Amino acid sequence: MTLPARNLLAEEASPYLQQHSENPVHWRAWSPAALAEAKEFERPILLSIGYAACHWCHVMAHESFENDAVAAVMNRLFVNIKVDREERPDIDQIYMAALQAMGEQGGWPLTMFLTPEGKPFWGGTYFPREPRYGRPGFIQVLEAVDKAWREKQQSLAESADGLTTHVESQLAGAQGRAVLDRGALADLADRIDSTIDRDAGGLRGAPKFPNAPFMQTLWLSWLRDGHTAHRDAVLLSLEKMLAGGIYDHVGGGLSRYSTDAEWLVPHFEKMLYDNAQLIRICNWAYAATGNDLFRRRIEETVAWLLREMRVEGGAFAASLDADSEGKEGLFYTWSRGEVEAALGSDAAAFFQYFELAAPHGWEGKPIIRQSEAQQRQGIADYAQLTPLKAKLLATREERIRPGRDGKALTDWNGLMIAALTEAGRSFARPDWVGAAARAFAHIVTAGEDGRLPHSMLGEKKLFPALSSDYAAMTNAAIALFEATGDSAYSDHARQFIGELDRWHQDSDKTGYYLTASDGGDVPIRIRGDVDEAIPSATSQIVEALVRFSSLTGVPDLWEKAWTTAEHAMGRAARQAYGQAGIVNACALSLEPLKLVLVDKPASSSLVPVANRNPDPRRVDIVVPIGTEANRPLLPGGALPPTDKPGAWFCSGQVCLPAVTEPAELEKLLRRP
């Protein structure tokens, strides 16, 4: 077979791949055809993996992939395949694990060299076009790899076989089941707590990532075992990052990470998943503390989400770039003169609440941040501060915007739908719940033959979905059911779990694979156990199964959830630090909480109490007074009476006596 000697990315559904469609490199997307081409011509594969909001991906593209001389070498020596890691996390995780097994630091762009069969034999991340930063120039790398391939092909192929076997054992193995016990969460929480930066929050050192799975481990430790130091580590981390430059003080929303240890200088890309997790954890923090900082940052971040991230149909876009006009952070940074020009006589008031910081080595304009005192005062004086921020936002809207990756990823949307719905309940914002419901409907209606897409860009859809898509959408459906009482959402959850079982369950029915059984283009079918910036696919599956079994009370579903959790924990036991999501989900399976509320729909007294006291361990079911059909089962198969208001709070298989007074329920649901 002969594929065209040209770039084939123009018709792809990924904006990241489309960004490379004008490169002189003869790029192919990952596909059976591209792999077959490598085999036919017996050429090694140059695999480049990145994503649209990745700063160093743009740098390498500009330096090398847009360069005719570099492209000529790539085209002569390799079959060149470009992958969007957000579209194909299964491919990305395989080759990232291979790079790390070589002893290299992971990151993006990921640059890997593969045998024609797709097995990795060498790689790295960013390579400059000319030698610098202690790295060889990219043409040097290409020619050295080609020379090694021609002269040592047999030994490289053997090395690739061994590396592939190692990666498969790490990412696709079974390892048996583990007995679930309370100690796993407590041990992991203690280990995470020992690494917390007690001055700046987050983990010690730089760069600093929000790391939501770790924050959830600490929060669950406080909820379950009362470790206030673990709660305080989360609160400190939130307060510090929300004061830093990693948070967009003008427009709302969080950047992906800060390059320093003070949360000051971010890579300015904004990812949907980071902000979903920020909303969720801030919602818990506000309920626990009443600190208006968390409420205001949720409101600002949701405003950003609805203003800048909705795509046609109501779902949410994947990310915003860090760069505009070829410069990182230009859209978000301000000189003092620009602030004064935008605010006029109000500028002095603005600088009472904010400062402009330009750390050593930073080449851009200063970054807006707050001191601890300014953060407190800014929340206290929020009404006075709001119009000043609105003026700056209006001025900023006139700038050239960063690019937006407008594809809607199903699993990332599921995370945001659940977070937005939970916040909508907590803050009595039916408009937020409505926005979440529209996003949910957009994704569901994009399905075909009962199956969800993994990614959508306008009319272009990427099938089949990953296991993370079905898990995240199950959790989103349950959140919407809790908020609305609409049984259509519980029906959707049941359907998603059915599709998960059909396409992703392993032959022993003890767990699930990330890629569907008919997704035939992966060299290794991996589990999806490892957390990245979001909880792993496996952890989301366990959570979905636990929550749905709690919702329905069906024993078979509970048995499935328990079996999946035990085997997931068996695989995670050796490296729990990298699989905190699984530990968190298994902690939920040990002690699931269920709250059944019978209340008056028109004048609820108990439901608002539950809404303003969110708990990630709990499923809430609201039943109107007088309901006869579809009443939820309590553990043991009992049906609650519905002739008067009442709340039944159950932990595992044990239910407390019914509570009828709002104050009593408040006391029951709040941790001291």
The H or E element that residue 583 is part of is: helix 580-590
Residue with tokens 């009595």: 428
Q: How far is CA 307 from CA 218, 314, 316, 393, 426, in A?
A: 32, 12, 11, 12, 21
* Residue 153, both tokens: 């092909």
Please, what are the domains in the chain?
A: 15-172 (3.40.30.10), 244-406 (no CATH), 593-669 (no CATH)
Q: How far is CA 67 from CA 506, 530, 662, in A?
A: 45, 36, 68
Q: How far is CA 60 from CA 8, 78, 286, 481, in A?
A: 19, 18, 42, 45
* Residue 75, both tokens: 């085209």
* Residue 36, both tokens: 């077959």
What is the torsion angle, in degrees rounded to the nearest 10, for the CA atoms of residue 163, residue 168, residue 170 and residue 174?
-150
Residue 1 has a CB neighbour count (10 Å cut-off) of 8
Taking the alpha carbons at both ends of the chain, their separation in whole angstroms is 69
pLDDT of residue 442: 98
* Residue 277, both tokens: 């997790």
Report the alpha-carbon distance of residue 538 to residue 437 in Å, rounded: 25
Residue with tokens 């509970």: 558
What's the pLDDT tens digit per position in 362-386?
A: 888 999 999 999 999 999 999 999 9
CB 577 within 8 A of CB 188: yes
* Residue 176, both tokens: 């048996």
Q: How far is CA 46 from CA 30, 365, 544, in A?
A: 11, 37, 38
Instruction: Compute φ and ψ for 638, nearest 5 degrees.
Output: -80, 150
Enumerate residues 6+ apart whose C-beta is below 8 A from 503: 451, 464, 516, 517, 518
| This prediction's pTM | 0.96
pLDDT of residue 311: 97
Point out the residues of the chain with pLDDT beneath 50.
Answer: none
pLDDT of residue 2: 54
Q: Which candidate, 118, 94, 106, places its Cα nearest to that of 171?
A: 94
Report the alpha-carbon distance of residue 257 to residue 577 in Å, rounded: 19
pLDDT of residue 3: 59
Report the alpha-carbon distance of residue 660 to residue 647 in Å, rounded: 6
CB 44 within 8 A of CB 145: yes
Q: Which candidate, 249, 247, 296, places its Cα nearest to that of 275?
A: 247
Q: Within 13 A of 353's CA, how many CA atoms are on the CB side?
A: 20
